Amino acid sequence: MALTLNQVVSRIRTLALAHDQVNSFYFGDEPEFLANGDISYPAAFLVQQPGSINRTEHLQTFSFRLFLLDRVGVSEDTEGNETEALSDMHSVAADLVAMMMNSEYEADWMVVENTPITPVTETTEDMVAGVIADIGVQVDFLADRCQVPADDVTFETDFDMARTRILTYTGSGVEGSTFTPSGLSGKVVLACYRAGNYKRLTTSAPTSTDYIKVAGTDLGDNKGVLASTGAVTLYTGDALVEGEVLDFLIWD
């Protein structure tokens, strides 16, 4: 099950408060925490930013701005105190990113590789300084329609991968780019491979009726080629040589 926003925020909160240099954590909108007069510094403030869903890579990205701020003493050596706060919060930001990247979490989230860090001073009326870390967290996007809490909606039946198998054909070297593998007639060809290279397939006489729609795959709107007679044509330059093995991924 993919992590939810609540679970992602909860994990970041736990990691932040586990750091010896963070006394409090707040999640919400920036104006809310800036107006909060009851803060124990050094503090971490997490603000959600626009994220994204990538259907191709099956990833959902949660984007955050993490404010790490500490109070600056102004009674004496204000500039030196400000520099000390900036230095400390830079270190805390690096520590938290490292904690988030711990291998323990690799199974259910991934921290986006680049984390921009912006120094800030005199950010609130509390006279604080620190950094803003722009953090991206990616989790699985399963696109599982069966888990959607929706009524009165009917989806197509998902494609059953258990009904797929490999049909192997060994080239004779004389078939050219067109040949008829035994057992391919009437099968749906989802993919074809030769030594790890994808082969672009058509039927020998492709028409609109040669293509069928198999729901639940990532093969585009026309998902799969129906080899009605078993005759297959490979695109130009894809001809077989003697002894070359070609694997068809077919759906029965």
DSSP of the chain, one letter per residue? -PPPHHHHHHHHHHHHHHSTT--EEEES-HHHHHT-----SSEEEEEEEEEEEETTTTEEEEEEEEEEEEE---SS-HHHHHHHHHHHHHHHHHHHHHHHT-GGGTTT-EE-S---EEEEES-STT-EEEEEEEEEEEEE----GGG---SS---PPPP-GGGEEEEEEE--S-STTEE--TT-TTEEEEEEEETTEE--EEESS--GGGB---TTSSS-SS-SEEESSS-EEEPTT----TT-EEEEEEE-
pLDDT reported for residue 209: 47
What is the residue-averaged pLDDT of the chain?
A: 79
Across residues 130-157, what is the average pLDDT? 77
Q: pLDDT tens for residues 213-251? A: 333 333 444 456 677 777 777 666 667 778 888 887 787
pLDDT band at residue 43 using 50, 70 and 90 as cut-offs: very high
pTM: 0.59
Residue 19 has pLDDT above 80, yes or no: yes
Across residues 20-47, what is the average pLDDT? 86
pLDDT band at residue 124 using 50, 70 and 90 as cut-offs: low
pLDDT reported for residue 182: 86
pLDDT band at residue 156 using 50, 70 and 90 as cut-offs: low
Enumerate the domain spans of the chain. Answer: 5-140, 161-251
> What is the architecture of the domain spanning 5-140?
2-Layer Sandwich (3.30)
Residue 117 has pLDDT above 70, yes or no: yes
Residue 181 has pLDDT above 60, yes or no: yes
